[in-house]
Structure 1
Amino acid sequence: MTLGQNTKFYETPNHPYQDDRIAEESGLLGRYGLKNKEELWRTQSQLRSFRREARALLGREGAGGESADEEAQEFLDRLRRIGILGNEAGADDVLSLEVTDLLERRLQTIVYRQGLGNTPKQARQFITHGHVEVNGHNVTIPSYTVPVSEEGSIEYDETSPLADELHPARSEGQE
C-alpha cells in the first residue's frame, strides 16, 4: 500500500440492519450532534483499540518486567491527560469504558456543555467556521479530543463576530 491511498480508520457494523443498534446510534448522533454514523464508528474503533491495548497490558502484567510497567503507565497517563480515566483508575478500568466517555471529550461536546453553543449542532458550526479557539489556537475540527489541561481555555476567537456579547447567535447565559 502506498502512502497516498485513503485508509478507513473505523470499522462498520457486522450486521448493518439491526433495529436496536440503529436506534441507539441515532440517539447518540442527535445527543452529540455528530454529522454522520462514520464519526460514531470512528470513536467506537478508537475505544476498541484502547481496550485491546489494555488487555495486552493486563496480559503482560503477570509476566512482569520494567518495560511492561512503564508502557502500562504511559498508556494510562495518556488516557488521564485526555480525561477519559480518573487519577486512580487502572488498566482494568479501561475495559469498562463506554463510547459516551470518548464522545464527552470531543471539542464539539465541550463547547456545547460550556454554553458557547445553544445546541451541539450549533457548537459544531461555530467550530468549523473558526469561531472557537483552544488555548489561544483556532481549532476547526469538531472531533478534536480536548486534554483536561486545555478544557478551561476554550473560548470564542477574539476576531470572531461571536466575541461580541450582543451577537444574536449567542444565548443569554453565555459569557
Structure 2
Amino acid sequence: MALPGENTKFYETPNHPYQGERISEESDLVSRYGLKNKEELWRAQSELRNFRREARRLLGQTETVSGEEFVSRLQRIGVLSNQESLDDVLSLDVTDVLERRLQTVVYREGLANTVGQARQFISHGHITVDGSRVTEPSYTVEVSEEDAIAFDERSDLTDELHPARAGAQE
C-alpha cells in the first residue's frame, strides 16, 4: 500500500518471473527499441492493456460517441491508422506503442545513428518537438508533431559536421 502523496507503479510485472521464452522476447524488445530496462517495456505493455480494456468496454456499449473519441485519440497519437476502427484496437501489439516513443521516432527520422544515441540526445536536451525541448525518451509523439522534431538551435548538434552525427547525415 502506498503512502499518501506517493506515486504508485504505472505498470504490472509478469505473473511468472522465470519463463525463458518471455524473457528472451523482452530482452529482444529492450535492445531493439533501446529501452533503459524492462520496466519501460512493462509500462508500454500496461498502456496497451489499458487500450484493449477500454476498447472491450466500448464495444459492449451501444453508445458510439465515446468510442469514436477513443479511436480518434489513438489515431492522433499514431497507434491506429486512419482506416482502422475500434475492433482493430484488440489486435494491436506492444511494438505499435513502442514505435510512437520519441526515442524511436528520432532514430527512425535519422537524427541519430542508433536508438541508444537517440535516447542520449533526448535526455541531454538536444531534441525539440514543436520548438519545445523534450527530455523524456518515453514521450509519445503525435502524428501532427512528427515533422516538427529537430535539433535544438542552441545545441552543438545542429552542425552537420558534428562528430556525433557522423553517419546521421548520409
TM-score (normalizing by structure 2): 0.96
Off by >2 Å, runs of 4+ in structure 1: 171-175
Other-structure match for 2:97? 102
User: Any conservation in 1 of the 2:151–2:158 contact (CA below 8 Å)?
Assistant: yes
Report matched runs for 1:116-131 at 5 Å: 116-131=111-126
Deviation digits for residues 30-87 of structure 1 (CA, Å, limit 9, x no counterpart): 0000000000000000000000000000011xxx3xxx21100110000000011111
Worse-matched range after superposition: 3-12 or 127-136? 3-12
User: Any conservation in 1 of the 2:122–2:135 contact (CA below 8 Å)?
Assistant: yes
Q: CA deviation at 1:173?
A: 4.2
Equivalent of 1:150, from 136, 145, 152?
145
Equivalent of 2:156, from 157, 161, 171?
161
In 1, the alpha carbon distance for the partners of 2:85 and 2:121 equals 36
Residue type of the partner of 1:35? K
In 2, the alpha carbon distance for the partners of 1:32 and 1:53 equals 26
Q: CA deviation at 1:89?
A: 1.1
User: Any conservation in 1 of the 2:113–2:167 contact (CA below 8 Å)?
Assistant: no
In 2, the alpha carbon distance for the partners of 1:22 and 1:104 equals 20
1:23 aligns with 2:24: yes
Residue type of the partner of 1:154? I
User: Any conservation in 1 of the 2:34–2:115 contact (CA below 8 Å)?
Assistant: yes
User: Any conservation in 1 of the 2:26–2:38 contact (CA below 8 Å)?
Assistant: yes
User: What are structure 2's unaligned runs of at least 5 residues?
Assistant: none
In 2, the alpha carbon distance for the partners of 1:169 and 1:85 equals 34
User: Any conservation in 1 of the 2:76–2:143 contact (CA below 8 Å)?
Assistant: yes
In 1, the alpha carbon distance for the partners of 2:159 and 2:74 equals 36
Q: CA deviation at 1:10?
A: 0.1
1:136 aligns with 2:131: yes
Other-structure match for 2:68? 73
Q: Give the aligned CA root-mean-square deviation in angstroms.
A: 1.2
Q: CA deviation at 1:90?
A: 1.1
Residue type of the partner of 1:54? A
* Residues 152 and 99 of structure 1: CA distance in aligned 2, closer, same or farther (over 3 Å): same
Other-structure match for 1:51? 52
In 2, the alpha carbon distance for the partners of 1:45 and 1:122 equals 26
Over the matched positions of the two proteins, sequence identity in percent amounts to 67
User: Any conservation in 1 of the 2:122–2:137 contact (CA below 8 Å)?
Assistant: yes
SS in structure 1 at match of 2:163: coil
